[in-house]
């Protein structure tokens, strides 16, 4: 049997000096998308993450709290591991640099490089930036401050071991030139090349001013420089010197993922260490941009961080992962705000993707008694849809391969939008009225199910629970947890006859206004809105006439129901998405006990379009649907032949 190809992916190992924020979550989610995609494509993936636990910063922070470093770190490492569980990260290993399996390898490699003469001892005077754990020469400082983060540096004068980097500079330049894929994205490669060309200074690889590190094996006054120690995790975790077979299967890594802040360590120091160790270089070093807040870069030491745990609790893991992956344009920085995140979830997931699925489910239930029909009458328009699906598959594959996550998701969402447009173009509600068009209606429903099947596969790397949640409604997959990537590239795999049923709202809409409001106000608003629904008309003692001008103030319009679902935990409420010409609105209506959502989808109703928007159970309702009622019945007023958006008067 042919063995599966290996694929080894790493994230940086994070400093456990504090809990992690969405910046770290971004990198780890990006690596996880790639890991899931590669597993779905048949690779034997090894996805590594971990923590970088030595160094002056950790030691100082721990001691400032009267703690031993390890006692300080352990609970933070637990919280980091819990965070990765919460974000459904599928790392195959988690390495801690304080583990014996790692420290042994660091010592052995330090010894080897020393013995071959690439590490030597010298007197050193330099400036140390503790938050960055980096030593600079005077020339490298920016106006006397750290050139990377702009903070104060401290002078250090000590005897140190140095690593002869300059010796390998030309070899590294040749490698970069000969392997255009080695440093990605391309703009970053140019930065690295110019940096090397400016001349590399030898690197100080040991410290004597503190002790929280791996002791230099032949001189225990020194501990190994934290970056020399940390980078080796990529080798120690896969068994270098312990399990040669496992190591040789994994190394060289296929990709090291990180943000641009630590690219030089990975694209200069690390390859040179590997050259000195006579080991192959990683195939790719990929540096993404930063997630910034409106006020600048997010950082643990600035204290302006966004906690991913809170976001997942609020919005769900699929939505948070989707937002992170979509928001950073390939290689560039991006700005985070909760409003932008909620807006993105609403537009892409609740409106486009969620609606596509719920509309299709409702129509298959309504028109085909809840069974996906056999395709029966193709039309030229279908070819356009199929061609786009094939193109999207190819593009999504290429972009994921290059780790262009936002490009990948933009491609997939194109198929979602096209499928929604296909519903508008084919007008299934009209086909359903004509018995002679049943074959065409069946074809349209089948094609929609096919598009959804593909989209669910294509989004599985980024939204790991979506396929199985949607599968409870659509039964498209035997096992939604073991999907194959290639099946998203083949049209026609949906099995006709599969049962379809209604289910949970896959992506509940987020009320953007509620983000700014206090919960108490929200409750009050909800109460008054409910009272409006229940209010009985009170007959006036004498009739109070209104004039035609009074009536004209009321803007009644024909509105077409394009989507409709029950509001969770509210027996009486339906959430409708209606279209008035080009405009789309959300309306909450207290008719759930009289109408099933699928009875309304495709119908045209009369909407009080200029009613002041009000919030019902946290959902903003933009208008009211007219209905007549007696004690037991409610009958919505339907309009058949008039285009949506037209005035009712």
Binding site for ligand ME8 (CB under 6 A): 12-15, 23-24, 26-27, 52, 230-231, 233, 258-259, 261-262, 290-291, 297-298
Complex with ligand ME8: residue 10 or 420, whichever CB lies closer: 10
For residue 186, the SS3 value is helix
Cβ at position 471, least distance to ligand ME8 in Å: 33
Cβ at position 323, least distance to ligand ME8 in Å: 14
Complex with ligand ME8: residue 226 or 372, whichever CB lies closer: 226
For tokens 């077409």, the residue is 560
Complex with ligand ME8: residue 23 or 618, whichever CB lies closer: 23
- How many whole angstroms separate alpha carbon 202 and alpha carbon 133? 16
Cβ at position 116, least distance to ligand ME8 in Å: 23
- How many whole angstroms separate alpha carbon 577 and alpha carbon 601? 9
In order, the DSSP letters of 362-393 are HHHHHHHTTBPPPP----HHHHHHHHHHHHHH
Residue 581 backbone zone (phi > 0: left; psi -120 to 50: alpha; other: beta):
left
Residue sitting closest to ligand ME8 (CB): 23
- How many whole angstroms separate alpha carbon 475 and alpha carbon 481? 13
Cβ at position 266, least distance to ligand ME8 in Å: 7
Cβ at position 309, least distance to ligand ME8 in Å: 16
Q: Both tokens of residue 131?
A: 């938050």
Which residues lie closer than 8 Å to 563 by C-beta, 6 or more apart?
355, 358, 359, 362, 576, 577, 601
Complex with ligand ME8: residue 405 or 601, whichever CB lies closer: 405
Which residues lie closer than 8 Å to 535 by C-beta, 6 or more apart?
none
- How many whole angstroms separate alpha carbon 405 and alpha carbon 321? 11
Q: Both tokens of residue 603?
A: 């119908």
For residue 103, the SS3 value is helix
Complex with ligand ME8: residue 33 or 470, whichever CB lies closer: 33
- How many whole angstroms separate alpha carbon 447 and alpha carbon 374? 10
Complex with ligand ME8: residue 334 or 439, whichever CB lies closer: 334
Give the β-pairing of 6-14 and 255-259.
Answer: parallel
Q: Which class for 555: exposed (0-12), middle (13-18), buried (19 or more C-beta within 10 A)?
A: middle
Complex with ligand ME8: residue 52 or 382, whichever CB lies closer: 52
Cβ at position 96, least distance to ligand ME8 in Å: 12
Contact by Cβ (8 Å): 81, 94: yes
Cβ at position 155, least distance to ligand ME8 in Å: 23
Cβ at position 102, least distance to ligand ME8 in Å: 11
Cβ at position 195, least distance to ligand ME8 in Å: 17
Complex with ligand ME8: residue 296 or 499, whichever CB lies closer: 296
Complex with ligand ME8: residue 233 or 397, whichever CB lies closer: 233
């Amino acid at each position: 049997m042919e063995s599966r190809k290996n694929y080894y992916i790493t994230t940086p190992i994070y400093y456990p000096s504090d809990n992690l924020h969405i910046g770290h979550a971004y990198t780890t989610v990006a690596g996880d998308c790639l890991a899931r995609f590669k597993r779905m494509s048949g690779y034997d993936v090894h996805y590594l993450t971990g923590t970088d636990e030595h160094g002056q910063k950790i030691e100082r922070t721990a001691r400032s709290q009267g703690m031993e470093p390890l006692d300080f770190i352990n609970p933070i490492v637990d919280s980091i591991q819990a965070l990765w569980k919460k974000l459904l990260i599928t790392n195959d290993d988690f390495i801690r640099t304080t583990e014996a399996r790692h420290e042994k390898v660091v010592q052995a490699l330090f010894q080897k490089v020393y013995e071959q003469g690439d590490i030597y001892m010298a007197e050193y005077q330099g400036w140390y930036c503790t938050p960055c754990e980096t030593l600079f020469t005077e020339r490298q400082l920016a106006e006397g401050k750290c050139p990377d983060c702009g903070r104060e540096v401290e002078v250090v004068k000590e005897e140190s071991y140095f690593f002869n980097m300059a010796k390998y500079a030309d070899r590294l330049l040749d490698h970069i030139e000969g392997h255009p894929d080695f440093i990605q994205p391309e703009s970053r490669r140019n930065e690295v090349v110019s940096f090397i060309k400016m001349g590399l200074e030898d690197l100080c690889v040991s410290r004597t001013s503190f002790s929280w590190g791996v002791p230099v094996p032949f001189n225990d006054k020194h501990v190994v420089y934290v970056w020399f120690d940390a980078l080796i995790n990529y080798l120690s975790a896969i068994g270098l010197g312990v399990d040669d077979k496992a190591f040789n299967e994994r190394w060289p890594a296929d990709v090291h993922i990180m943000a641009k802040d630590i690219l030089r360590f990975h694209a200069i120091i690390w390859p040179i260490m590997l050259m000195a160790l006579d080991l192959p270089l990683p195939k790719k070093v990929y540096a993404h941009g930063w997630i910034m807040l409106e006020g600048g870069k997010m950082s643990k030491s600035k204290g302006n961080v966004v906690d991913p745990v809170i976001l997942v609790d609020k919005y769900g893991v699929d939505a948070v992962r989707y937002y992170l992956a979509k928001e950073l344009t390939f290689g560039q920085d991006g700005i985070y705000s909760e409003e932008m995140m909620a807006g993105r979830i609403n537009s892409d997931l609740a409106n486009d993707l969620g609606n596509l699925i719920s509309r299709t489910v409702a129509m298959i239930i309504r028109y085909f008694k809840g069974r996906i029909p056999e395709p029966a009458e193709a039309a030229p328009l279908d070819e356009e849809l199929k061609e786009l699906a094939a193109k999207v598959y190819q593009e999504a594959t290429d972009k994921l391969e290059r780790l262009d996550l936002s490009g990948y998701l933009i491609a997939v969402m194109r198929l979602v939008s096209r499928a929604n447009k296909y519903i508008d173009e084919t007008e299934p509600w009209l086909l359903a009225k004509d018995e002679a068009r049943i074959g065409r209606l069946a074809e349209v429903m089948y094609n929609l199910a096919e598009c959804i099947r593909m989209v669910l596969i294509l989004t599985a790397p980024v939204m790991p629970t979506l396929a199985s949640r949607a599968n409870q409604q659509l039964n498209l997959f035997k096992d939604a947890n073991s999907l194959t990537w290639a099946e998203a590239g083949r049209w026609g795999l949906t099995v006709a006859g599969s049962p379809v049923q209604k289910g949970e709202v896959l992506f509940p809409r987020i009320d953007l206004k509620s983000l700014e409001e206090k919960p108490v106000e929200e409750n009050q608003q909800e109460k008054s809105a409910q009272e409006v629904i229940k209010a009985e008309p009170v007959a006036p003692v004498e009739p109070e006439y209104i004039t035609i001008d009074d009536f004209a103030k009321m803007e009644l319009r024909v509105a077409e129901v394009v989507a409709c679902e029950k509001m969770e935990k509210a027996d009486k409420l339906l959430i409708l998405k209606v279209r008035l010409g080009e405009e789309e609105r959300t309306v909450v209506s207290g008719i759930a006990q009289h109408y099933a959502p699928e009875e309304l989808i495709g119908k045209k109703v009369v909407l009080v379009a200029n009613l002041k928007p009000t919030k019902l159970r946290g959902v903003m309702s933009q208008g009211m649907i007219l209905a007549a009622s007696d004690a037991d019945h409610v009958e919505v007023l339907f309009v058949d032949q008039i285009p949506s958006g037209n005035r009712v008067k």
